[in-house]
Structure 1
Amino acid sequence: MDFKILVINPGSTSTKISLFVNKKELFQKSQFHDAPVLLQFPHVNGQVPFRYQVILDMLKEEGVDPSDIDVFVGRGGSACTQPSGVTIIDQKLYDDTEAAVGGSEHAAKLGVMLAWRFAQNYHKPAYTLNPTNVDEYCDYARLTGIRGLYRTPHSHVLNPKAVAEAHAESIGKRYEDCNFIVGHIDGGVTVSTHYHGKMIDGTMGADGDGPFAPTRIGSVPVLELLDYLETHPLDDVRRMCSRSGGFVSLFGTSNSDTVHALVEQGDKKATLVWNTMIYQICKSIGEMSAVLCGKVDAILLTGGLMRFDDITEGIKERCGWIAPIYVYPGEMEQEAMAFPVLKVLRGEAEAITYSGKNVWQGFEGMDL
């Protein structure tokens, strides 16, 4: 039996869709959204009608009737933390995603919300896979110096895991037998540690952690941020963590092509900002190499910004001594969502039902 699978992949600067028939991708379409367009919506949830119409328009351009699609698959995030794997989108997952009970407002959450809306409107099933809130952290990655305050995984998961699995296969190994550092470098930037098939640590890009990016502030000293908050609204700072920081704050645009064009023209400000972003990515890679005690099989670089060769060269210059570096420009997210769902549809694998509870329930027997 053939299954038509629509993959919905909203990012911080784009909406991407792919239509598959089984494993054959019939088409892939993407629309870039500059920050001023998306910042018209005070809250991420407010983008749902806008992005829903964008998807309808793209399907119409391809002559596709949504009612002919068998299943809708969307990126996810913002709910309670979840295990990796295919998860059924149901009312509980939709509600928790909409309410961001997991504490992170990332555009990936729109994938669940859009897939659910399509599924409800056309009476079809919906799934998500490896959302931004997958929790495979080791305990050392959770604890902070404030009692009762923990680091909760909010990161790129879908593409880093797909790239890591693909690279392991390319060298004749299993993902579960390898140690990788994966840098997802796009509108948001995260660097994650993959130890024997688990993402045991990583930067939390939409939470004010790690390198700054086209739409994100990255790590900022706490006292400096508290001083900043004395004269700036809290909601503005929250938006800057995931939507209006980084290039948007510094240049008024999230368009990396615009900023890089200035770099090529020798603009001093653009050059400083661009090279600082690379510098901060390298710092995070070095940090994650320490997590693996220096036993790193490869550093894998992926995401839309890897179309710029100077990012690769900058990382090789500072981090090439750690491990071999491999570049996977763009991402593998579309097939990474479609193929596992196809296995579920064929009865070859089972999907997870969202529990509504965090994977990690605290340090047992310890007052932390």
Structure 2
Amino acid sequence: MKYVLVINPGSTSTKIAIYSTESMEIHTEVVEHSAEEIRKYDHIADQDAMRREAIVSVLREKGIRKEDLAAVVGRGGLLKPIIGGAYLVDMDMINDLKNAVQGEHASNLGPILAKEIADEAGVNAYIVDPVSCDEMDDLARFTGLKGEERGSLAHYLNIKGVTRKVCREKGYDFNEDNFIVAHLGGGFSIGPLRKGKLVDVNNANHGGPFSPERVGTLPLGVFVKYAYDKNYEKRNLLKKFQRGSGLISHLGTSDAREVERMIHDGDDYAAKVYQAMAYQIGKEIGACAAVLKGDVKAIIITGGLAYSSLMTGMIKEYVSFIAPVELVPGELEMKSLYEGARRVLMNEEEPLRYREEILSEKF
């Protein structure tokens, strides 16, 4: 039996999954890395050897030899903007990740680790639909400043993975039908998926609804006044807007379960904030419906907040008139990575080459 190894690095953990090439999940494991261990490294890429040894140890424990591997697939990192799909990991990609062309992030280690292990096994390494994909229509890129465009960083992997799942279950066609997908996590990615392409999406770090951690779209005057009055340096201001806003700013927590406990205990302000977040999500979904000119097969809500019946119930009140609402709580990243690699192994999809698909050197 041959296996596909799936690697998904997080900030303090490395998720590992082993699948057979016949679609059977053999083993999943989350290897935790202590904060003390992580602090030893100045750059994320420097964690490579430490994490690789942890992955190899799991394979050893499960009796899986390098010659048993058919492929290795890693979560894609912060690359230059590219179209969606499955990519062969090559040195062009590795060099850009090690140079952190779009910033340092734990996911940058995914392709690096995948290629090192794959090279030892004599097989190919792949990534699938990284966050740096950009399938936006030209019209969606425009801003009111010439030369400045909207860009795309989004949860492409899970958005496409859950849509494929809904298509299989409901008989929809991923490549022909249109969907609106709302990935609701610490940050939100909400966009119209037209015939398999995410043709518009809010970049959670730059705009859209406020979320558990992100500030969302701010009125221009508020942004300018806040930045100048508070005397923020750029780095600290971005940190505030991207990691210390939303529910954290209003209620002191990013945990929706805690917010719902506040609401249950009679906190009227918490209830108002939570409803305002649902209102903004619904408004964003409505805007996506306009992009698709009303031709929407289904609205799919995924991510951690999709577990909340209170939140999804409020969203449904705003958007259910557009199309049926499908809930896919949590995320399917590991399965989606495996399925992307399997499509290549089964010759259902041709792997792309990173250098050939770069859309822009400006991002």
TM-score, normalising length: structure 2: 0.83
d(CA) in 1 for partners of 2:19, 2:263? 38
Report the number of matched residues: 356
Q: Which amino acid aligns with 1:315?
A: I
SS of 2:312 mapped into structure 1: helix
d(CA) in 1 for partners of 2:145, 2:42? 29
d(CA) in 1 for partners of 2:244, 2:111? 22
Tell me the residue number matched to 2:217: 219
User: Residues 140 and 288 from structure 1, CA distance in 2 versus in 1: closer, same or farther, beyond 3 angstroms?
Assistant: same
Aligned residues of 1:13 and 1:187 also touching (Cα < 8 A): no
Tell me the residue number matched to 1:274: 274
- What is the CA-CA distance between 1:176 and the residue it aligns to? 2.0
User: Residues 128 and 274 from structure 1, CA distance in 2 versus in 1: closer, same or farther, beyond 3 angstroms?
Assistant: same
d(CA) in 2 for partners of 1:58, 1:314? 45
- Render the CA deviation track for 1:212-252: whole Å, top value 9, x for unaligned: 22332222223322333331221122334544443455556
d(CA) in 2 for partners of 1:356, 1:243? 34
- Higher mean Cα deviation, 60-69 or 255-264? 60-69
SS of 2:175 mapped into structure 1: helix
- What is the CA-CA distance between 1:147 and the residue it aligns to? 1.0
Q: Which runs of 5+ in 2 are unaligned?
A: none
Tell me the residue number matched to 1:365: none
d(CA) in 1 for partners of 2:100, 2:241? 15
- Higher mean Cα deviation, 254-263 or 292-301? 254-263
- Render the CA deviation track for 1:268-301: whole Å, top value 9, x for unaligned: 4543433332222112101111111122221111
Q: Which amino acid aligns with 2:25?
A: E
Tell me the residue number matched to 2:151: 152
d(CA) in 1 for partners of 2:206, 2:332? 25
d(CA) in 1 for partners of 2:120, 2:215? 37
Q: Which amino acid aligns with 2:161?
A: A
User: Residues 270 and 73 from structure 1, CA distance in 2 versus in 1: closer, same or farther, beyond 3 angstroms?
Assistant: farther
Corresponding position: 1:111 with 2:103 = no
Q: Which amino acid aligns with 2:93?
A: L
- Higher mean Cα deviation, 180-189 or 263-272? 263-272
- Render the CA deviation track for 1:108-136: whole Å, top value 9, x for unaligned: 44433443465568776421101112222
Tell me the residue number matched to 2:142: 143
SS of 2:200 mapped into structure 1: strand
Q: Which runs of 5+ in 1 are unaligned?
A: 363-368
- What is the CA-CA distance between 1:211 and the residue it aligns to? 1.8
d(CA) in 1 for partners of 2:213, 2:32? 13
Q: Which amino acid aligns with 2:316?
A: K
Corresponding position: 1:352 with 2:348 = no
Root mean square deviation, CA, Å: 3.6
Q: Which amino acid aligns with 2:175?
A: E
d(CA) in 2 for partners of 1:157, 1:345? 21
Tell me the residue number matched to 1:366: none
Work out the percentage of aligned pairs sharing the same amino acid.
32
User: How do 1:13-92 and structure 2 match up within 5 A?
Assistant: 15-22=14-21, 23-30=23-30, 45-46=43-44, 49=47, 53=51, 56=54, 60=58, 63-64=61-62, 68=66, 70=69, 71-92=71-92
Aligned residues of 1:188 and 1:215 also touching (Cα < 8 A): yes
SS of 1:194 mapped into structure 2: strand
d(CA) in 2 for partners of 1:76, 1:63? 26
Tell me the residue number matched to 2:287: 287
d(CA) in 1 for partners of 2:100, 2:28? 29
- What is the CA-CA distance between 1:12 and the residue it aligns to? 7.4
Aligned residues of 1:76 and 1:109 also touching (Cα < 8 A): yes
SS of 2:7 mapped into structure 1: strand
Tell me the residue number matched to 1:190: 189
Aligned residues of 2:45 and 2:98 also touching (Cα < 8 A): no
User: Residues 44 and 287 from structure 1, CA distance in 2 versus in 1: closer, same or farther, beyond 3 angstroms?
Assistant: farther
Q: Which has the larger radius of gyration?
A: 2
Aligned residues of 2:192 and 2:199 also touching (Cα < 8 A): yes
- Higher mean Cα deviation, 55-64 or 286-295? 55-64
Q: Which amino acid aligns with 2:285?
A: I
